[in-house]
Chain A
């Protein structure tokens, strides 16, 4: 059997992208070769550069090119507040709200007992060191409201509380602009259980 041609190899390589099946990979490959070889070169170089330059921020663990990410280095954020999120995408989402002024820690995952994902995989030791720097006063746990996200929040909360930190969790309930008639029952049930005095 012959080794795969360069064309086949590129098709196979593109399939590592989310949402790209064999058909789409083939279309992308042919497009680059036929209509946009310059774009292809740019893509190859950008990919190579990103993969060799991007690393994890020493403080918050998100992706960055320098030792500290722009947020951690900015000096305008409240250093007493630390928000724990699962992924860099979650961090960007919270930044978009413009409702949070503190710093972050990105776990790059969540505890998942049934998949064997444990504390080592989500950098728990680094988080504890980061939160125990003497400046952080409150840790906001903003992991997802899935069973795994909840378990992660619970276990991290216990460890952080034991170290004398104030720990809070994102509120959950009826979404903004939500009409009760159209809210799913699980969310509504939880909103009733978590109701608060006004």
Chain B
């Protein structure tokens, strides 16, 4: 029999909410100390609910909940402030971060480091920071938090230090292998030594590094998603179709 818990005022974000019955919401929260938590927000859809305007994604909140079983009941949500509402392209990037967390994090698996990384990424997106660099830094830390840390300084088998001027294949779960046109290794994403070394220092300012890192993370994340579609990525692709000259 699950023990009843009562938790008060823990930092968290709302990742997404789904309608749950006529007047309530099922909220997927990402909390610092308890990880991803499904919470029922009773009455949150009523016109006069005090939670309207509070249970919004991308806003730092203090969440309280209680209950037993897998899905707890939200008992309090307080707006913390300090982060402007995301708008425009930053919002599209924000949805991508939330979708990654929803699809890759197990429930109630605490990752305080990842929580802080998420918060920093939102700060970057809300400010004037380089959005692509924010996303790459988040992806890098997400992978290492989930136990898929990349090896970015030495070759996988020979343990030779990487040469910034050489090309490599990044072999999943092993690391960089010297570039080759034949064999098993050639199936893996191709990347330069310069990019891998820049990634090791979380430096994504260079345009070539940015493009290669994006392609590499895409391949790594697709593998982790195991054929689940990333809707936030698909949406951007669908919208780009409208900018074709035919319309």
Residue positions of A touching B, CB distance < 8 A:
18-19, 111, 113-116, 118-120, 124-125, 128, 146-147, 150-151, 154-155, 158-159, 162, 184-187, 189-190, 193
Contact = CB atoms under 8 A, between A and B. Distances in A.
Given A18-B22, A113-B231, A114-B95, A119 B56 contact: no
A118 B235 CA distance: 6
B184 interface: no
Contact of A147 (B58, B229, B234): B58
A119 B53 contact: no
B81 A185 contact: yes
Contacts of A155: 92, 239
Interface residues of B, number: 36
Contact of B235 (A18, A113, A190): A113
Interface string B56-78: 11110000000000000000000
A188 to B, nearest CB: 9
A190 B126 CA distance: 13
Contacts of A147: 56-58, 86, 91, 94-95
Interface of B: 15-16, 22, 50, 53-54, 56-59, 79, 81, 84-89, 91-92, 94-96, 98-99, 102, 229, 231-232, 234-235, 238-239, 242-243, 247
Contact of B102 (A111, A114, A124): A114
A143 to B, nearest CB: 13
Contacts of A116: 229, 231, 234
